[in-house]
Amino acid sequence: MRGRGTRNLLAASLLALACSTLDVGALNAQAERARQGVMSLEDGRIFYEVMGTGEPILIVHGGPGLDHNYLRPGLDILATRNTLVYYDQRGTGRSQVPLDEASVNLDAFVEDIDALRQVLGFEKVTVLGHSFGALFAIEYARRYPENLRGIVLMNPTEPGSRFRDQSNARLAVARTEVDAAELVELTGTEAFEARDAGALAAMYRVAFRSTFKDRDRVGELDLALSEETAKYGQNVAALLGKSLGTVEWWDRLGEINVPTLVVHGRYDIPPVLMAQALADAFPQGRLAVLDSGHFPYIEDPGGLTAAIAGFFVDIRR
């Protein structure tokens, strides 16, 4: 299975050229036509945006405590071949719920994915989870494999601690003394303590700088946080952390028998060895290593679109 998947991913390299020369005007027009909506919950609401055409990809953003805006407009490139569904997770962006353990927990976040699938009328979806969002994609696949075409884990957080020491060592090398000093200064301000959106965005920009292949490209990352995300994001992260506890999921991954693509940036903080082990842990897993850091839709959009196009070719067989 992995051999066939690798061949298809390589064959899809022909698509990379086409994807890397897409008409920017066409992408902007698609973004302007994005359909916005609100999914009602018993205790709140989930804001979502739908754009593009083709097989649906439901996108689970990272964080925890961010909203989906940082993925755009870069990830919109996938809308030339797929219907993309972005949404803000509970308590961030334009999604609102009570900030308590009953409303912000792993079960609720996973159930939101399936509720959104049903509201939008999709029989099956592919779930793409970025960074921390990959954990929700993994858990969704464990609970609802019958509703999936597959999952894409884009620059995933490790679902455990096997590679924690290696990741910490890589971060220590990537984060410069200047970065560390700036982070101390930024997190010590009154504006940061007050959860000012601008102060938090500045902190994230410095923190994420070390996750890029080209550090100067962090400026292309949209970190214009909404007031709601800035104000409540840390609460959401704390509540989720309490719900998740210690994540040690490596041993359960073999139960998830759905097509799985792990997309990893060679210059990301987790080592390639972690991504390879993750792909190998899934019965139908495969790995695509891109020339990027943590945000491949900025640094290697052609490689990303080719990998995902090849994945869809393979799961149609």
| CA 211 – CA 206 distance, rounded (Å) | 10
Does residue 120 surpass a pLDDT of 60? yes
Query: Are 76 and 84 in contact, with CB atoms under 8 Å apart?
Result: yes
Q: Where are the beta strands (DSSP E) in 243-311?
A: 260-265, 285-290
Tokens at residue 102, please? Answer: 């009953």
Residues in the chain: 317
Query: Are 31 and 72 in contact, with CB atoms under 8 Å apart?
Result: yes
pTM value is 0.91
- Which CATH fold would you assign to the domain 2-175+210-316? Rossmann fold (3.40.50)
Contacts with 17 (C-beta within 8 Å, 6 or more apart), sequence order: 302
User: What tens digit of pLDDT does each residue of 8-37 get?
Assistant: 333 333 333 334 444 545 555 555 568 999
Half-sphere exposure of 46 (CA within 13 A, CB side): 27
| CA 291 – CA 296 distance, rounded (Å) | 8
Query: Are 253 and 138 in contact, with CB atoms under 8 Å apart?
Result: yes
- Rounded mean pLDDT of the chain? 92
Tokens at residue 9, please? Answer: 């991913």
User: What tens digit of pLDDT does each residue of 154-205 get?
Assistant: 999 999 999 999 999 999 999 999 999 999 999 999 999 999 999 999 999 9
Residue 200 Cα to chain centre, angstroms? 20
Angle at 301 between CA 63 and CA 198, to 5 degrees: 40
| CA 238 – CA 288 distance, rounded (Å) | 32
| CA 199 – CA 201 distance, rounded (Å) | 5
User: What tens digit of pLDDT does each residue of 40-77 get?
Assistant: 999 999 999 999 999 999 999 999 999 999 999 999 99
Percentage of the chain modeled with pLDDT above 70: 90
